[in-house]
Amino acid sequence: MRKTYLDNIKWITVVIVVLYHVIYMYNAIVTSGTIGPFSEVQYQDIFQYIVYPWFMVLLFVVSGMSARFALTKHTAKEFIATRTVKYLVPSTLGLPVFYWILGYYNMQIGHAFDTMGDVPGPVVFLIMALSGTAVMWYIQLLWLYSVILVLVRKIEKDRLYNLAGKSNVIVFLALMPVMWGAANILNTPIVVVYRFGIYGVAFFAGYFIFSHDEVMDRLEKLWLPLTVISMVLAVIFTVVFWGQHYPDHVVLDTFLCNLYAWAATLAVLAFMKKWGNFSNDFTAWMGKKSWGLYMFHYLPIAMIAYYTRKYLPGMAPVLVYLLTTFGAFAGAYLLYEIISRVPVLRWFVLGISRKKVPVGSSERDKNVC
């Protein structure tokens, strides 16, 4: 049976990611690689503190759950083949084909061209392509974890999986220090988003633990206390770290940050299992388009931010936010509708190999995250 609450978690989290990036582009906390703030203190930046610690952890947990569901219907070879096309191709071959455009705007926003000097054109293009990776670090890690998962499955042969099906509240709590420890290892020194440790633990926790219906039934019963706890921790986290660089390890590696991240992740899973297991025309449409929204939203954000700051520097901040938000959604959906219909381009850019298989609605795509 299709788990509708997971579909809803996916598209809602992607929407949160889009809104986060809109706020981030004009934030006053982390200004490197962004347009910059409208004022020295911006209380709308609170949104970043509320969502950043947990929303990608949540997506990796859901991704691990989805991997389990996919592997019950497909062979390991099919699983890897599908994910290689969907994850690895766009995040590697797709960079010089299309995403270099985003790289161009990222470099314009970061004033990188001012220091290029006499760098040869091909080298500049390569740098632009790599700068266009942006949000695709997520699918790069998903591909890596998928490959590791197939190897792990050959060794454990569901022994660990079956044992994990007995997980209860004690295990949920015990995973908190595990997440904290994982947050402090296997982190890349410069590109902070590549947090191999914590995201790997989240992915495999999703696969081994939370993909069990009985485990989710136990978690569902805790939805109210988990929701209250996570809300309290959100306030404490924001107050304690307000003004500090929340996406840096000085914050991310702390016990409080990881306590909040794990509590919020469990709360969303429990809350949505209780209240989010429904579908209508709107949720179905959002679910089908969430892949395109995730892949394309940052390009219109970067373009609108660059051109409004360059040509309309006096535009009221509220109008800039509204324009950027509208452009992020409309631009992403438009790009998705166009590119998903172009035979070769859709393979490079979106990992779609067949025209009759729309992203988000097919068997191979229903566990996209």
Residue type, 123: V
Tell whether the torsion through CA atoms of 166, 172, 178 and 182 is positive or negative. positive
- Predicted pLDDT of residue 354: 66
Residue type, 74: H
Cα separation, 28 vs 37, whole angstroms: 5
Take residue 364 and report the two structure tokens written for it.
């191979």
CB atoms under 10 Å from CB of 1, counted, come to: 4
Take residue 111 and report the two structure tokens written for it.
């004033």
The structure tokens 């990992």 sit at 351
The structure tokens 């959604």 sit at 329
Cα separation, 146 vs 363, whole angstroms: 17
Q: CA nearest 176: which of 251, 230, 231?
A: 230
Q: DSSP letter at 264?
A: H
- Predicted pLDDT of residue 31: 86
Cα separation, 206 vs 229, whole angstroms: 21
Helix (H) / strand (E) element for 251: namely helix 249-252
List CB contacts of 11: < 8 A, sequence separation 6 or more.
Answer: 283, 286, 287, 289, 290, 293
**Whole-Å CA distances, 86 to 159, 250, 339:** 29, 34, 14
Cα separation, 124 vs 129, whole angstroms: 9
Cα separation, 6 vs 1, whole angstroms: 12
pLDDT tens for each residue of 123-162: 999 999 999 999 999 999 999 999 999 999 999 999 999 9
Residue 36: phi, psi to the nearest 5? Answer: 110, 170
Please, are residues 172 and 219 in contact by the beta-carbon 8 Å criterion?
A: yes
List CB contacts of 177: < 8 A, sequence separation 6 or more.
Answer: none
- Predicted pLDDT of residue 359: 38
**Whole-Å CA distances, 243 to 233, 237, 240:** 17, 11, 9
- Predicted pLDDT of residue 269: 98
CA 187, 189, 190 angle in degrees (round to 5)? Answer: 120
- Predicted pLDDT of residue 356: 45
CA within 13 Å, CB half, 77: 0
- Predicted pLDDT of residue 116: 87
Give the SS3 label for residue 195. strand
pLDDT tens for each residue of 110-123: 999 998 888 999 99
Take residue 344 and report the two structure tokens written for it.
């070769």
Please, are residues 39 and 28 in contact by the beta-carbon 8 Å criterion?
A: yes
Give the SS3 label for residue 10. helix
**Whole-Å CA distances, 309 to 28, 105, 210, 252, 312:** 15, 13, 45, 31, 6
- Predicted pLDDT of residue 190: 84
Residue segments in the chain with a per-residue pLDDT below the cut of 70:
1, 354-369
Q: CA nearest 64: which of 269, 205, 220?
A: 205
